[in-house]
Structure 1
């Protein structure tokens, strides 16, 4: 009995110790220190007005109902320092300008992508995380920072699952709110900041409202953890976008039985020239700009209630009401149409070696252009005749390109039960949804793919949002984007894309598993299998991120499911299973890397010598 008691006490002690360690890292997350750059340089991608519109126009999302003023009033758990100070939020990887000050668009002086929106239904102002938060990048070199508008973020926004290393914005925010709610002194200071003269009258109601949002945050963290939904840690600069959107729309809003394991993180893709593509998303599955943006907004937290809290269906007339702001989404989309790819800044990152870049252009035309050159479609072949240009980029099968297939496989294989929505085939046929490669069989609502399910739900949400926003019938084609339908195709592959500005988007491949362009052009055996992310320190020679370990960084391990760095390989031997081209000598790789710094930049392209390329050789196929 005495031995059993000692064993039980030991187990309790270990549990308390583990909980204490976990709490410590959530309260004091293991984050990189923020050091302001000597100077921040904006490239000539668009005008300042467009930049500010993109950074701070809301799209209708909410952080579980967190109000904008609450966010600014929160303190860190064991400090009276504010949570939302630019320097602290920059430690999570969010982008700030050392010289920034509050503006009408950014009254809280928050990082890029943190906007304020007033909800039309409640009149309350919520914290809105916009597309700019994930599609704006920054690089550091020799103390200088270069902002990459439309580039890939390097933040830790997505993760909701507690880890012993901490480091996630969601975890830290949840703990800040928990300590505020349960510490009377903290809550008093918080409430006085938020309410001012209304403190005595409205304090009790504020406490109730605050607890409701805290419960949602903690409930999401518990749900994601105990279901094991996100086993592959995303770290900095990645999220399982498709998986999270599907779990939000099909699981949170409809039926818990629809939750699926999402173990395929992807990097945030660059968005310059996105309006020109006939198909978008990593797997080329979506067509219409508005539907794509509504899906993104729903995944990030736009309000959507498909069922009552007791599981009963909502009436058809009210079912698809959402927080999506279609007028603002249209503003963001049209603003992005003016965004130019970034141009290599020689004064900051170093001069271009013209002779080497000239050799690289010939090598590019031989080895890369057949997949990565933009292919303008003739007017008669365009999905949108008025879109000029309209580019078709091939979706390369995972069996050919050989890169980690988990993202493409999950999108192709996961099925969801949407039968509780009560759709009929005749009803779906009337929607502006076009299924490419569709069989003649009626849709089985108990086994709907994520792409098809999101297409139909966004069609309903879009129609309701247009009606609520007063968008006239004759305006809808413009808001849709070139009058396009909500097109869907389901291919087990990844879309190639033009490489203008590719130098500014490390790490590479869809899952961010290769740190530099030089490694991407090298055989898989020469690529790093583990490297650190979370720093923006740039390597202009290899064209990629620095990979050394640093305090607060995230170690990306390519042996973990979803993280593989294989494929897209140039290697001697037969072609197939990820080998896409002949072996490139080191000198050829250096030349290609030099050219990829300036590809698409007219001022540089005109300076290069026009060396004749060798003809493209598909090589022998493996049997």
Structure 2
């Protein structure tokens, strides 16, 4: 066979290389899918973005005369952030959506309502949204749309920046049979999830298991799809699975932002040695040869609020594992405690612990200093950022009774007496001297 014949049969290697180069990678496809597509039908009309201002009072900026002022007021009211990608002039987390069966257009929330945040005026896909007021947004949108007040039967959030994604997922899966057909009556699984902080996506790549309790395989594609259980069929889930595999590839490509302020390199070097001796066993090592141990720490050892770890009942886990979601990556039936997270970009992820109960790294490493009740800052601008303690400057408030805390409608206030929001535990830094603690914090700025 001649050279020309081989060229025809096998194809030109140069043409093949060019065609492969032209094909978008899984990461590129995933980025495009996450940032440009809406996977759910519209929940509200397109007009709701402007109409909701009627509930704010006379001081609301005019959305037509002052669109920039209105966008800022809207973002501050609900804790949303500018999208760092084209998004129809909507903040990150809101998306235009079309009902494929009717062609009706409207608005819907997407993953980035929780997993899109900002710090120092810059927005990041994958940074947990520490400002989000999910229940405030839903209540206002439903009221402005002339519909019954939004009611879930469980706490969505009592404080900005926290969200009860666990209970949302538990409710949705309880309404499906193992084959994902709909049930007439929900599975009464008895689980009670608390609201939690939103973790950073850029650390997923380091983990073998995911979620705070480390009971789900981090490579699971289907577990990231469960929030579409409100409307998708089994066939639709199967059709979308390759797209969500691409999205997971994109999530695994996200890198943490670098600390934007000066770092004392000599102090950080000292802190690195202390960290390696006292923290790396659980949280991993960083630098030229990074390693992460993927440890799940027993509840009695970590000592942090146990509500999230104890939330999934055996019946819920069994039911989940019996469905299409559990076929791929079943949830571990054994509860151990909490996964010690990787710490890349930890400077940007305040407040700390799984429930966001600790304002700064200094408070984290000195448990006696943690405030039980405080007001979170009104934005993630750097004027509210504490570069010494690393985290958010907060207004410490006097404690109140748990009953009064539960009645408090000011969702800028964090109260550790509420269910699942205890600020105890992780006392491993208490034995450090003040100078050692300062050195460790300086080193953590470099991650």
- Residue number in structure 1 paired with 2:81: 95
Counterparts of residues 74-153 of structure 1 (less than 5 Å): 74-77=51-54, 81=62, 85-91=70-76, 92-96=78-82, 105-107=86-88, 109-140=89-120, 145-153=121-129
Q: Does 1:503 align with 2:347?
A: yes
**How many residues align structurally?**
385
Structure 2, unmatched stretches of 5+, are 1-27, 177-181, 398-408
- Residue number in structure 2 paired with 1:291: 222
Q: What per-residue deviation string (whole Å, max 9, x for no partner) do you get for residues 559-614 of structure 1?
A: 222111111103xxxxxxxxxx6601111111110000002xxxxxxxxxxxxxxx
- Deviation at 1:340? 1.1
Measured in 2, the distance between the counterparts of 1:278 and 1:59 equals 28
- Deviation at 1:136? 2.2
When residues 120 and 329 of structure 1 are mapped into structure 2, their CA distance, relative to the original with a 3 A threshold, is: farther
- Deviation at 1:390? 9.8
2:284–2:292: 8 Å Cα contact kept in structure 1? no
The secondary structure found in structure 2 opposite 1:488 is coil
Measured in 2, the distance between the counterparts of 1:121 and 1:390 equals 49
- Residue number in structure 1 paired with 2:368: 525
1:529–1:558: 8 Å Cα contact kept in structure 2? yes
Structure 1, unmatched stretches of 5+, are 1-48, 160-167, 179-213, 306-318, 376-388, 416-447, 463-484, 571-580, 600-623
Q: Does 1:402 align with 2:303?
A: yes
- Residue number in structure 2 paired with 1:445: none
Measured in 1, the distance between the counterparts of 2:124 and 2:207 equals 21
Measured in 1, the distance between the counterparts of 2:211 and 2:52 equals 38
- Deviation at 1:128? 3.5
- Residue number in structure 2 paired with 1:494: 338
When residues 333 and 52 of structure 1 are mapped into structure 2, their CA distance, relative to the original with a 3 A threshold, is: closer
Measured in 2, the distance between the counterparts of 1:587 and 1:562 equals 32
- Residue number in structure 2 paired with 1:438: none
Aligned-pair RMSD on alpha carbons? Answer: 3.4
1:55–1:133: 8 Å Cα contact kept in structure 2? no
- Residue number in structure 2 paired with 1:66: 44
- Residue number in structure 2 paired with 1:235: 159
Measured in 2, the distance between the counterparts of 1:534 and 1:553 equals 11
- Deviation at 1:90? 0.5
Measured in 1, the distance between the counterparts of 2:268 and 2:237 equals 50
Which of the numbers 566, 570, 586 marks the counterpart of 2:424? Answer: 566
2:115–2:129: 8 Å Cα contact kept in structure 1? yes
Q: What per-residue deviation string (whole Å, max 9, x for no partner) do you get for residues 199-233 of structure 1?
A: xxxxxxxxxxxxxxx35xx3x51x52xxxx22x84
Which of the numbers 435, 438, 446 marks the counterpart of 1:587? Answer: 435
1:54–1:132: 8 Å Cα contact kept in structure 2? no
Larger radius of gyration: 1
Counterparts of residues 238-257 of structure 1 (less than 5 Å): 238-250=162-174, 254=183, 255-256=185-186
* TM-score normalised over the length of structure 1: 0.56
* TM-score normalised over the length of structure 2: 0.76
When residues 139 and 62 of structure 1 are mapped into structure 2, their CA distance, relative to the original with a 3 A threshold, is: same
Q: Does 1:453 align with 2:319?
A: yes
1:530–1:555: 8 Å Cα contact kept in structure 2? yes
